[in-house]
Amino acid sequence: MKKESKDLGIMFLYPIVAVIISFLFKPNAFGSVMLFLAVPSIYLSIRGVKYIKKSFIFSLVTTIPLMIVIDYIAHLTGMWNISNSILNGRLFDYVTIEVILWAFFTCYLVVIFYEYFIDKHASKRLWTPKLKYLLMTSLLIFIAFIVMFFNFPNLLNIPYFYLCFGVVLTLLPFLFQWFEFPHVTKKFLLVGIFFFYLHSLYEITALKIGWWTFPGKDFIGLVSLFGVTFPIEEVIFWFILLALAILSFYEYFDDNEK
């Protein structure tokens, strides 16, 4: 317990260190993903080696195809924009390597944080039968996107896309988890607190330095904090619900709901 308490203290201290490094050295958006997400992911991987494989597989299955679709529509609709990607070329004209890596490392960090500090469930089973349904759903969404991209591109210009996908992919899964498995959902509290803290610092730093912007207008409202302005959807679906939704998917499709 002493080791884990020390590690938890390090995890809460590190985002402040990441903010300081960011303002001192002004890395690009790719560097921000490495700094805020990859570094703590690597640290927890070293401390909790037995959780790596399952966290990695779940994150790979759930993020890559789906995030390509989300990032394309997000850039198309002005939901967000990363103007200076480390790679000149973009997948499907809009999709950046930064957002794909952001999605993967966010998911991975949420799961390994949860396993290391709270659940402590080092299962030798790296794949559950239910996980294939999550993978199949993600692939079907990606295939539907490909069809629309080449044949009906106008259908991808979805008004208030942030609100739509935020409700479907974060709010509804979390509410299902909360009502069906409240005894498990209570274990998400520490994770929710940490990632609200981490994402708040990451957001403010990103907008101060210029890693991303929100050029669109289809938002339900805006929040101004410490001299930067961002959509209310960021607070609801990224700061508060994203980590909780990831764990909702993880417990239902790849763990034991215990």
Q: How confident is the model at residue 79 (pLDDT cuts 50, 70, 90)?
A: very high
Q: How far apart are CA 235 and CA 205, in angstroms?
A: 15
Q: How far apart are CA 236 and CA 15, in angstroms?
A: 20
Q: How confident is the model at residue 84 (pLDDT cuts 50, 70, 90)?
A: confident
- The 8-class DSSP code of residue 32 comes to H
Pairing of strands 222-225, 228-231: antiparallel
For the cut 80, the answer to whether the pLDDT of residue 128 exceeds it is no
Q: How confident is the model at residue 228 (pLDDT cuts 50, 70, 90)?
A: very high
CA distances from 2 to 5, 227, 229, 247 (A): 5, 39, 40, 25
What global pTM score does this model have?
0.96
Q: What total of structural domains would you count in the chain?
A: 1
**Residues with Cβ < 8 Å from 211, sequence gap 6 or more?**
28, 29, 32, 82, 205
Q: Tell me the residue range of the domain where 199 lies.
A: 2-254
Q: What's the confidence (pLDDT) of residue 203?
A: 98
**Residues with Cβ < 8 Å from 58, sequence gap 6 or more?**
107, 111, 131, 250, 254
Q: What is the DSSP string of 133-168?
A: HHHHHHHHHHHHHHHHHHH-GGGG--TTHHHHHHII
Q: What is the pLDDT of residues 9-28, one digit of tens each?
A: 999 999 999 999 999 999 99
The mean per-residue pLDDT over the stretch 69-96 comes to: 93
Q: What is the pLDDT of residues 30-66, one digit of tens each?
A: 999 999 999 999 999 999 999 999 999 999 989 999 9
Q: How far apart are CA 228 and CA 206, in angstroms?
A: 10
210 vs 127, residue with greater confidence:
210
Which residue has 């009906």 as its token pair? Answer: 152
The mean per-residue pLDDT over the stretch 151-176 comes to: 96
Q: What's the confidence (pLDDT) of residue 124?
A: 67
For the cut 80, the answer to whether the pLDDT of residue 209 exceeds it is yes
Task: State the amino acid at position 175 in one-letter form.
Answer: L
What are 228's strand-pairing partners?
Answer: 225
Q: Is the dihedral of CA 125, 135, 112, 49 positive or negative?
A: positive
Which residue has 């008004």 as its token pair? Answer: 159
The b-or-e profile of 222-240 (16+ CB within 10 A means b, else e) is eeeeeeeebbebbbbbbbb
Which residue has 């239902």 as its token pair? Answer: 252
Q: pLDDT averaged over the chain?
A: 94
The mean per-residue pLDDT over the stretch 247-251 comes to: 95
Q: Would you say 208 and 227 are in contact if contact means Cβ atoms under 8 Å apart?
A: yes
